[in-house]
Amino acid sequence: MQRSHLWSLIIVIVVAVLALAIALPIQHPAWFNNIAFWQPTEFRDLELKQGLDLQGGLQVLLEADSAALALQSSSERDPLEAAKVIVENRVNGLGVSEPLVQRQGDNRIIVELPGIDDPDQAVATLKGTGLLEFVEMGQQFVPAGTLIETDFGASPTASAGITGTQGLLNPATGQPFRTIMTGADLRSASVGFDQLTSAPLIIFELSDTGRTIFRDYTSQHLGEVVAIAMDKVVLSAPTIQAVIDGSGEITGQFTLDEANSLAVQMQYGALPVALNVIDTRSVGATLGADSVEKSITAGVIGVLVVLLFMIVYYRVPGVLADVALILFVLINIAIFKLLPVTLTLPGIAGFLLATGTAVDANVLIFERMKEEVRAGKPLRSAVDAGFNRAWTSIFDSNLSTLITAAILIYFGSAFGASSVRGFAITLAIGVLVSMFTAVFATRVLMRLVYQRRNADESALAKPTLLGV
């Protein structure tokens, strides 16, 4: 075997082993997950990500009123960014795993909530007015993110639309914590820097009523903790270090981003702009699970038929193409996990279609090879001729599919057409992977079987076994 051929074989084996290891639906050891090093650490789990149409859930497109936005655009902070931060907080309050909040364009926010049971309630929570409270905590220190019960307004469980969870009660009394004042008494909040350490901090100013309330309170409760809570979720819980008269500072171990986010939420306790729901899409978990099950059945049956057909029609080369096709499936699944690609129903269709056409390159090559064998060429050169001659056709024809896929990906970035994107991405990945498996990997396999010196005499070279 030539040296370059040996290397090709090694590459194929390494890729195959890696793809298999990644594609296996098992709990991977933590060190192995680092193979997806470009993903943020907390998401490196090598799981297949399911879209909302498969796992069930809610997707909402919120649009800020453009007139209101224009009115606010003079202010230094981007009101949509502020709205996004607030929506994010509310989403976190809903207790959904892996939610997504994303800006889209100048005036829209996309929210995705997988696995939510009551879409109507969730939408109401997202649109609702946020409630900022300053809460008396006494000596009780609470970390940010804690859900607390206060004596102001509705209970958090009602406002967040979750049942079964309850906020923290005051351990001293067993009752909800007392609200000192609400965001209505806050005039402004912004980010500043400590003059000595230049660490970021929050500067806030109170209204006249707020000034009186807070001056009285802080003078009596020096050294105690005040929690600043948004929709009953603690944002920060500073200790009172001095009497606050009208304006004050919150210092802490903030990063600049954290300080910004906190200031935004204090400033815009209520959403800075009204958000309208312009598109809602929800899929029940039942339908999602049903879709997953059906897609797997369809995929397995379809691929099995293709595998069988290739063997029946092309015999020994068909078996090799099948090995390459199985490798194709593994590599695709591995890529879906690595990138990651969120699988949707159309996405699975794109992948399956790519699987069906992945053997196209093999077919082109084998048909060529058969012709050469029929024309009386020795097997070894027929194999080479098959690959060389078929290459231009394979390249030209795959490129046209890639062009279409690229355009579909672009088109699919319009919100209502997200299904299109899912299909086009998996199709494009499939076409690219098939170039590797159907051309490179199959060729390596063919060389193993047919390119030994005595290939023509070997039992595997009988015309019946070549499908000639």
Neighbours of 100 (CB within 10 A): 15
Window 102-131: residues binding other proteins (CB under 8 A): 119-120, 123-124
Options 125, 182, 265, 355; binder of other proteins; rule CB under 8 A: 355
For position 69 contacting other proteins by CB under 8 A, the verdict is no
Task: Work out which of 277, 326, 432, 449 binds other proteins, going by CB under 8 A.
Answer: 277
Is residue 252 at the binding interface for other proteins, with CB under 8 A as the rule? no
Contact set for other proteins, span 316-345 (CB under 8 A): 345
For the segment 404-423, give every residue that binds other proteins (CB under 8 A). 404-405, 407-408, 410-417, 419-420, 423
- β partners of residue 231: none
Using CA atoms, how far apart are residues 274 and 107, in angstroms rounded to an integer? 11
User: Contact between 439 and other proteins (CB under 8 A)?
Assistant: no
Neighbours of 209 (CB within 10 A): 11
Stretch that binds other proteins, among 164-172, 199-207, 267-275, 386-394 (CB under 8 A): 386-394
Among 163, 305, 456, 463, binds other proteins (CB under 8 A): 305
Smallest separation, CB 26 to other proteins (Å): 26
Among 14, 313, 378, 458, binds other proteins (CB under 8 A): 313
In the complex with other proteins, the residue whose CB is nearer, 1 or 298, is 298
Please check whether residue 444 is in contact with residue 12, taking contact to mean a CB–CB distance below 8 angstroms: yes
User: Under rule CB under 8 A, which residues in 159-178 are in contact with other proteins?
Assistant: none
Between the two ends of the chain, the Cα-to-Cα distance in Å is 27
Choose between 402 and 448: whose C-beta lies nearer to other proteins. 402
Interface with other proteins includes 374 (CB under 8 A)? no
How many positions of this chain bind other proteins (CB under 8 A)? Answer: 75
CB of residue 172 to other proteins, shortest distance in Å? 40
Identified binder of other proteins from the candidate list 195, 286, 454, 464, rule CB under 8 A: 286
Decide: helix, strand or coil at residue 223: coil
CB of 397 to other proteins, least distance (A): 4
Using the Cα atoms of residue 208, residue 213, residue 216 and residue 217 in order, give the sign of their dihedral: negative
> Does residue 352 interact with other proteins by CB under 8 A?
yes
In the chain, what are the helix, strand and coil shares in percent, each to the nearest 5? 55, 15, 25
Among 63, 133, 231, 384, binds other proteins (CB under 8 A): 63
Q: Shortest Cβ distance from residue 292 to other proteins (Å)?
A: 8
Task: Show the CA angle centred on residue 155, arms to residues 151 and 161, nearest 5°.
Answer: 160
Smaller CB separation from other proteins, 137 or 321: 321
Out of 70, 400, 452, 462, name the contact with other proteins by CB under 8 A.
400
Closer Cβ to other proteins, 147 or 327, answer by number:
327
Nearest to 133 by CA among 230, 209, 225, 208: 230
The Cα–Cα gap between 222 and 16 comes to 65
Measuring CA to CA, which residue among 441, 287, 300, 294 is closest to residue 359?
Answer: 441
Among residues 306, 331, 373, 439, which is the contact residue for other proteins, using CB under 8 A? Answer: 306
Per-residue binding string, other proteins, 12-41, x by CB under 8 A, is ------------------------------
Quick one: which H or E segment has residue 133? strand 132-138
For other proteins, give the closer residue by CB, 257 or 290: 290
Q: What is the CA 344 to chain-centroid distance, rounded?
A: 12
Summary count for the chain: helices (H), strands (E) = 15, 13
Amino acid code (one letter) for 252: G
CA-based R_g, the chain, Å: 31
89 lies in the binding site for other proteins (CB under 8 A)? no
3-state secondary structure of 158: helix
Return the number of the residue (140 or 280) whose C-beta is nearest other proteins. Answer: 280
| Strand, coil or helix: 282 | strand
- Compute the least distance from the CB of residue 433 to other proteins, in Å: 16
What CA–CA distance (Å, rounded) separates 260 from 145? Answer: 16
Q: Which stretch binds other proteins (CB under 8 A): 186-194, 231-239, 242-250, 401-409?
A: 401-409
For residue 219, the SS3 value is helix
Two structure tokens written together for 338:
């690595």
The alpha carbon of residue 183 and the mean position of all alpha carbons in its chain are separated, in whole angstroms, by 34
* From 146, 389, 432, 451, residue interacting with other proteins (rule: CB under 8 A): 389
Which residue type occupies 385? A
- Tell whether residue 291 is a contact of other proteins (CB under 8 A): yes
Does 363 bind other proteins (CB under 8 A)? Our answer is yes
Query: Is position 302 an interface residue for other proteins (rule: CB under 8 A)?
Result: yes
d(CA 250, CA 238): 7
For residue 363, give every residue at least 6 positions away whose Cβ sits within 8 Å of its Cβ, in sequence order, or none: none
Q: Which of 133, 136, 322, 360 binds other proteins (CB under 8 A)?
A: 360
